[in-house]
């Protein structure tokens, strides 16, 4: 029997006592030189060597953070930027994370209608089948999607995700500084656009609530807008929140706490460059490239410790 996604994620969080995930956003100019040197020696100064360096670096980061975090959030754009074969590299690092027992949250922000949405969902969760042949998929545990094409764009993702025991995080109140431009628009019938989206996320997830009391249809709610976070939790009491914006984007601890319920459950906080590139940016940048492994370990430990203390 396929286990419910929200239950799986909350079990993983409980095992490590850390409601956090490490984002994988590999910045090409911040990857330690040792990876490029090895790749160039084997493959020459070629695009294939750059891809190999990125892939090896990401896999080692996964090995370093695995003791401290229950989940990974690879951002597809950084792999697509490597060229057409970057999708294979994304698949490889997801496979590596799965073998380490980590939950994979594919940050892809897909959104489309009809057969296009079905194809996107197949690529993420289950794989298409033709003439008795099952095609490979990313086999993500969860993915981020964009709701702004309406309910018919959401339905194929919900159907495929739940069929495969997977989950969704639907964009609601995002962490970027310009998010209010559309998300906080007042509606003629009252309320704001993001409040309407939140109500719909709550409705879309109503039929997929697990034993934990949370739905496999969750929401992306940034750590940078306190009043909005409180309102989102009020409107979506059964939704898991994926919370970006911690660290580099300036997310406040009070706002992060508002994303959890009164029992300290219901959210997972992401840090991307603040963990995987901790030696290049943020409070540990003095470690530098020479101590990059120490910086990644210290950053992941601090993330897990700080957020656990915040919600305990």
**Burial zone of 63 (CB within 10 Å; 0-12 exposed, 13-18 middle, 19+ buried):** middle
Kindly tell me the sign of the dihedral angle through the C-alpha atoms of 251, 253, 257, 258.
Answer: negative
> Considering 16, 109, 265, 301, which one is annotated as catalytic?
109
How are beta strands 167-173 and 20-24 bridged, if at all?
unpaired
What span, in angstroms and rounded, lies between the C-alpha atoms of 84 and 295? 32
What span, in angstroms and rounded, lies between the C-alpha atoms of 25 and 270? 12
- Give the 3-state secondary structure of residue 175: coil
Query: 145 pairs with which residues across the strands?
Result: 110, 170
Place of tokens 């993330």: 303
What span, in angstroms and rounded, lies between the C-alpha atoms of 11 and 94? 20
The number of angstroms, rounded, from the C-alpha of 76 to the middle of its chain's C-alpha atoms is 10
Tokens of 119: 């194809």
Cα atoms in the Cβ-side hemisphere of radius 13 Å centred on 91: 13
- Other CB atoms within 10 A of residue 281 CB: 15
The answer to whether residue 16 is catalytic is no
Task: Give the residue ranges of DSSP H helices in the chain.
Answer: 5-16, 33-43, 47-65, 76-80, 86-99, 114-121, 151-163, 180-183, 193-204, 226-235, 253-259, 273-276, 292-311
Catalytic sites, residue numbers: 109
């Amino acid at each position: 029997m396929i286990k419910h996604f929200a239950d799986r994620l909350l079990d993983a969080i409980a095992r490590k006592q850390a409601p956090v995930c490490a984002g994988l956003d590999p910045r090409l100019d911040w990857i330690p030189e040792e990876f490029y040197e090895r790749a160039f020696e084997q493959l020459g100064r070629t695009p294939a060597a750059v891809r190999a360096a990125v892939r090896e670096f990401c896999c080692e980061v996964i090995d370093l953070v695995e003791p401290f975090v229950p989940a990974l959030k690879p951002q597809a754009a950084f792999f697509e930027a490597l060229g057409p074969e970057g999708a294979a590299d994304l698949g490889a690092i997801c496979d590596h994370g799965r073998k380490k027992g980590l939950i994979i949250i594919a940050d892809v922000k897909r959104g489309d209608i009809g057969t296009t949405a079905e194809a996107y969902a197949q690529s993420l969760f289950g794989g298409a089948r033709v003439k008795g042949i099952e095609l490979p998929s990313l086999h993500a545990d969860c993915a981020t999607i964009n709701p702004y094409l309406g309910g018919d764009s959401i339905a194929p993702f919900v159907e495929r995700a739940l069929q495969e025991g997977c989950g969704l995080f639907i964009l609601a109140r995002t962490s970027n500084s310009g998010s209010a431009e559309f998300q906080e628009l007042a509606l003629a019938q009252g309320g704001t656009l993001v409040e309407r989206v939140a109500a719909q996320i709550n409705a879309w997830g109503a039929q997929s609530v697990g034993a934990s009391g949370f739905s496999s249809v969750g929401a992306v709610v940034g750590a940078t807008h306190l009043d909005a976070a409180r309102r989102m939790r009020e409107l979506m009491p059964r939704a898991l929140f994926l919370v970006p914006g911690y660290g580099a984007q300036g997310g406040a601890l009070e706002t992060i706490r508002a994303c959890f319920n009164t029992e300290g459950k219901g959210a997972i906080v992401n840090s991307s460059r603040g963990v995987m590139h901790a030696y290049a940016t943020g409070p540990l940048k003095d470690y530098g490239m020479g101590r990059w492994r120490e910086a990644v370990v210290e950053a992941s430990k601090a993330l897990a410790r700080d957020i656990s203390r915040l919600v305990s």
